[in-house]
Structure 1
Amino acid sequence: MKRLLRTAVATLLAGTAAVFFLAAPASAGVLDVTCTPPSSNLNQYDPPLTLTPQSVTVSTTALYGPCVSASHPSITSGTRTASVATTSSCADLLGPGSITYTITWNTGQTTTISSTFTRVVAGAVYTVAATGVVTSGLFAGDTVVTNFTGPATDITLCTLGLGSVSSISTLGTLEITSL
């Protein structure tokens, strides 16, 4: 009988706790802009990355769109381009990192974002997931979440010493949310 009573009390307490936590108000912000596929990111490496670190030029073109913004309805797309000389190998395409970049929206307005990211290969899929904050420009102070995926075949072969990576193309989403 004591065991039955303890079970009933434990079930009641667990149910009460679940109702309490489920009923708590959400503190999520307002989605200021969201860009969905075919939003894309293309990184090109000249010369192609190998397993051995070497001097390369990395050219990035990111195309965001279609985009929807309730607070700025004229925003429908954005772009980001960059070119940087660095020393790199295909092993550097995995793991964590940080970046600061600027998106130019179709309206001519800009948003500068500082974020940290992780890059992983799972099976045949390469995923880059990032979180950050808008440091200046349109949506300053907002949080940013991106998630881009693409094929991992070249990266996997390169990290095994069996090939090189001349480019990486990914598709994904960008969300900018006010606090």
Structure 2
Amino acid sequence: MIKSLRTFVATLMTLVSALALLVLGPAGTASAGVLDVTCTPPSSNSITYNPPLTRTPQDVTIGVSAQYGPCVSLSNPALTSGHRAISVLSPGFSCLELLNSGSVTFTITWNTGQTSTVSANYSATVVGAALVDVRTGTVTSGLFAGSTVLQTTTGPATDVLLCTAGLGTVSGIYSLVTLEITSL
């Protein structure tokens, strides 16, 4: 049962990613610069909400765990993967905020032990059956400082749509990730 569920989820995520690529097109570099690093699926982002999100604002602990890899970097061939994790209490948070825009700062720790701190603007939208979050910004410090960043996460939108309609909750979101860091 668990194996068939995993197969179903993997197939669903592949279909959602394909749908997003058809609608949005492939992710492009932010400029005509040199690609410092690119990470593609199965790179992933997993977010948990405790308690699960509803339409009613409440204090929620948000846990984020991102795994980047496989990654390819011509300028740093030893770099093959990365990760980031954080847990934060967010007061007055509801599922309606999942479709907002804003800004965020996060740090990626690479398998080489180096880090990249990213400041980005984000925008989340529903495209067909997919929740698509696009982040664009710059590496403000660490490896690839000064380079531009484009990160796209794509996951199923079903729970988010049901919650925003007042018909369900969101306990977590699992998304596939594409990350490009490009120097000017």
TM range (shorter): 0.7 to 0.9
**1:110-125 superposed matches below 5 A:** 110-125=115-130
Q: Which structure is larger by alpha-carbon Rg, 1 or 2?
A: 1
Q: Which of 64, 67, 70 is the aligned partner of 1:66?
A: 70
Question: SS of the residue aligned with 1:73?
Answer: coil
List alignment gaps of at least 5 residues for structure 1: 1-26
State how far apart, in whole Å, the 1-side matches of 2:128 and 2:182 are: 31
Residue-by-residue CA offset, 1:80-127 (whole Å, 9 max, x unaligned): 000000120000000211100000000100000000010011221100
Tell me the residue number matched to 2:36: 32
State how far apart, in whole Å, the 2-side matches of 1:104 and 1:81 are: 9
**1:12-161 superposed matches below 5 A:** 28-87=32-91, 88-161=93-166
Aligned residues: 153
Tell me by how many angstroms 1:172 deviates: 2.1
TM-score, normalising length from structure 2? 0.82
TM-score, normalising length from structure 1? 0.84
Tell me the residue number matched to 2:181: 176
Please list every run of at least 4 consecutive aligned residues from structure 1 whose deviation after the TM superposition is greater than 2 angstroms: none
Residue-by-residue CA offset, 1:7-26 (whole Å, 9 max, x unaligned): xxxxxxxxxxxxxxxxxxxx
Tell me the residue number matched to 1:19: none
Residue-by-residue CA offset, 1:26-60 (whole Å, 9 max, x unaligned): x7110000000011111100000000000010000
Tell me by how many angstroms 1:78 deviates: 0.2
State how far apart, in whole Å, the 2-side matches of 1:123 and 1:143 are: 28
Identity fraction in percent: 63
Which one has more relative contact order, counting CA pairs under 8 Å at least 6 apart? 2
Tell me by how many angstroms 1:146 deviates: 0.7
State how far apart, in whole Å, the 2-side matches of 1:136 and 1:101 are: 11
State how far apart, in whole Å, the 2-side matches of 1:59 and 1:140 are: 26
State how far apart, in whole Å, the 1-side matches of 2:90 and 2:100 are: 17
Q: Which amino acid aligns with 1:161?
A: G
State how far apart, in whole Å, the 1-side matches of 2:128 and 2:32 are: 33
Q: Which amino acid aligns with 1:68?
A: V
State how far apart, in whole Å, the 2-side matches of 1:123 and 1:67 are: 28
Q: Which amino acid aligns with 2:32?
A: A
Residue-by-residue CA offset, 1:123-147 (whole Å, 9 max, x unaligned): 2110001100000000000000011
